[in-house]
Amino acid sequence: MIYYLLFLRITPLLPNWFINISSPILEVPLWKFFIATFLGLMPMNVMHVKTGLMINDIQTVGGVDLKVRISSSRIANLTIDSSYAVCHWIHCFAAYVFQEETTRKV
């Protein structure tokens, strides 16, 4: 079973969330799931980290400086944008819950 899980983790046949949800349903032992997940996802993680390091080493492309300076205005903009996204999610969730409550009363 560990080879089957390892195969599923390495190949992109199924998404990882599906494997995560279906493993307890199929009663896969935790130690087999852990080992297959660790060994199966490690090559992709190493590749992502190495790619990120190579991209980080790039200084300029076509004369354009790619190093982004972090400033307080950028942090403020990111905070405002993320706060808007969270408020929108809360609003949608509250509207869904309120809609269910009103339909249950009728």
Q: Where are the domains of the chain?
A: 1-58, 69-106
Chain segment 32-59, per-residue pLDDT in tens? 999 988 988 888 889 989 988 887 777 7
Chain segment 60-86, per-residue pLDDT in tens? 777 666 666 667 887 888 888 889 888
Contacts 24+ apart (CB under 8 A), 39-44: 39/6, 39/9, 40/5, 40/6, 40/8, 40/9, 40/10, 41/9, 41/16, 43/10
The residues, ordered by sequence, that sit 6+ positions from 43 with a Cβ below 8 Å of its Cβ are: 10
pLDDT of residue 13: 80
- Single out the residue of 69, 91, 90, 88 nearest to residue 80, CA to CA: 88
Which tokens belong to 81? 């944008």
